[in-house]
Amino acid sequence: MRLTRKQTQEQTRSRLLDAAAEAIFAGGLSALSIRSVCEAAGYSQGAFYSNFASRDDLLLALMEQHIGEQAANLSALITGMGRGNLNQDMRDIARWLADHGETEGWSRINADFKLHAQRDPAFAEGYRATAEPFHRAFAVLMGDLVHRHGLQPILPAQDLSVGLYALWTGLALQQAVDPALPRQEIYLAFLRAAMIAPHAPLSSFPKGHHS
């Protein structure tokens, strides 16, 4: 079946993103160039600029694709969580984080992106905006715990979600050099420390999917 123009453009964009991811997996962010991505994907630079405004635009699209997948997975966890006691709910979240930790390759990409953001304020702004859906999903997950169990957390939802995301990605990267690291127990310790101390009003957290 002949592809429509929109389908052809989506296919081109997807192949360019795949080629970029493979290049970063293999050699890091410094190894990525528009020319190398186009050659690997089999397209001209004209095709690249029909889909992306710049190299940084490509990087943010790559990040958005990955974070979107993870945010969807996290939202599914929120929807499907049982209605157990507080300890069980926290263990379920900690287990999910450990089981769905970012792959080593994506952890390296994320570390490269953060370093790039430190050097480039414009990219940093795009990075923060792209990561927002995932932080929001984490905030809803924590808010669900807060309202279901009547907790008073130590920080607002957004701050805790950013902290948990940093812990998640950092431990995923650390696993490459320390495979025996007890990540699930570390996540559980974070959740217990963050969600029980009575220092913040419940109104600082969004309501989740509790009944």
pLDDT tens column, 89-142: 888 888 888 887 655 567 778 888 888 999 999 999 999 898 888 888 888 888
Q: SS in 3 state form for 42-74?
A: CCCHHHHHHHCCCHHHHHHHHHHHHHHHHHHHH
Domain ranges of the chain: 1-52, 60-204
Q: Of 1.10.10.970, 1.10.357.10, 3.40.190.10, 3.40.50.10090, which CATH number belongs to 60-204?
A: 1.10.357.10
Confirm if 91 and 188 have CB atoms less than 8 A apart. Answer: yes
Low-confidence ranges of the chain (pLDDT < 70): 1, 82-84, 101-105, 196-211
At 208 the pLDDT is 53
What backbone torsions phi and psi does residue 134 show, to the nearest 5 degrees?
Answer: -70, -40
At 177 the pLDDT is 81
At 211 the pLDDT is 41
Confirm if 94 and 187 have CB atoms less than 8 A apart. Answer: yes
Alpha-carbon span 14 to 9, nearest angstrom: 9
Nearest Cα neighbor of 16 from 55, 72, 66, 71 is 55
